[in-house]
Amino acid sequence: MDKVYDIIVLGAGPAGLAAASYAGRARMDTLLIEGTKDGGQIVITNEIENYPGSLEEESGPSLIARMTKQVEKFGADRVTDTIVDVELEGKVKHLKGNHGDYYAKAVVIATGASPRPIGCPGEKEFTGKGVSYCATCDANFFEDFEVYVVGGGDSAVEEAMYLTKFARKVTLIHRRDELRAAKSIQEKAFANPKMAFMWNTTIEEIKGDGVVTSMIVKDTKTGETREIEADEEDGTFGIFVFVGFDPKSQLFEGKLEMENRYIVTDKYMHTSVPGVFAAGDVIVKHLRQVVTACGDGAVAATEAQHYVENLAD
């Protein structure tokens, strides 16, 4: 068997980086595994205003760069690999990657989740330049502008109402002729004077020049398309997408308790398997923000440390 680490942290977004920092600082022999690059969803965020202590010029990449330096400072090993299978039962956990096998007494899963995209041309190009997947993160940048929200479930309607605190008008775009959100939430939305609704509509293309300036929408019943352009004085508008998230949890299906594909943990980040902890957007939770991900990671690493220290030889 190869080297057995005290703790392996899987994923290098805010939750994983926080966990690796805490584990390394606690003098745990720690390995951080990331499949592509550090940062997770936060690296697509141009500006961060609501992370405690962030400066006005703070961006997702700059915050992640500082977190990465902390991990290095506290001595965690790093490897880039894609994990394709896991064996989590027993005292030694086994993670099988494309480039090697990794073993540890405890594992912190911080693989994150991805917002489900619309899937139309222009969406990727204008993410962070008018297209957003987080109202709490980006609402402030659209104060007194028009914004459009895509979706019809609880999250979409709730986020749309949150955006009315900032935008002068919020239009909810839904592919059907009625919302899927709870009736109580719908009633509040219909009563909000800043809310408008665009039924039986999908976004077919997003256009712009540096920032979003227009979009092509289609009537799902007639098939007709039309272009919606930004107000001339504004020059842009916001498109907030809330059509669901995809947790990166496929590896753990049938091996950990899950709820709607999210990993179930207790308040101490313990999963259903001893020695396996989870943190951040991959777990069942209410608020998916950088600050809560970091908190999850800190708790998970501390609990993993206690588990390893109390593990009988």
Please say if 134 is a catalytic residue.
yes
Of the listed 6, 29, 38, 134, which one is catalytic? 134
Of the listed 6, 138, 281, 296, which one is catalytic? 138
Q: Which of 140, 128, 108 is nearest to 42 (CA)?
A: 128
Rounded Cα–Cα distance for residues 50 and 73 (Å) = 26
Tokens of 166: 């900032």
Which residues contact residue 106 at a Cβ distance below 8 angstroms, ignoring those fewer than 6 apart?
Answer: 6, 7, 8, 93, 275, 276, 277, 304, 307, 308
Residue tagged 């289609």 (tokens): 218
Q: Where are the alpha helices (DSSP H) in 119-180?
A: 135-138, 154-163
The residue type at 78: R
Gyration radius from the chain CA atoms: 21
CA-based angle 286:288:289, to the nearest 5? 135
Residue 174's alpha-carbon distances to 6, 149, 157, in angstroms, are: 48, 9, 10
Of the listed 6, 29, 38, 137, which one is catalytic? 137
Please say if 120 is a catalytic residue.
no
Strand 195-198 to strand 169-173: parallel, antiparallel, or no bridges (unpaired)? Answer: parallel
Spatial contact of 290 and 40, defined as CB atoms under 8 Å apart: no
Catalytic residues: 134, 137-138
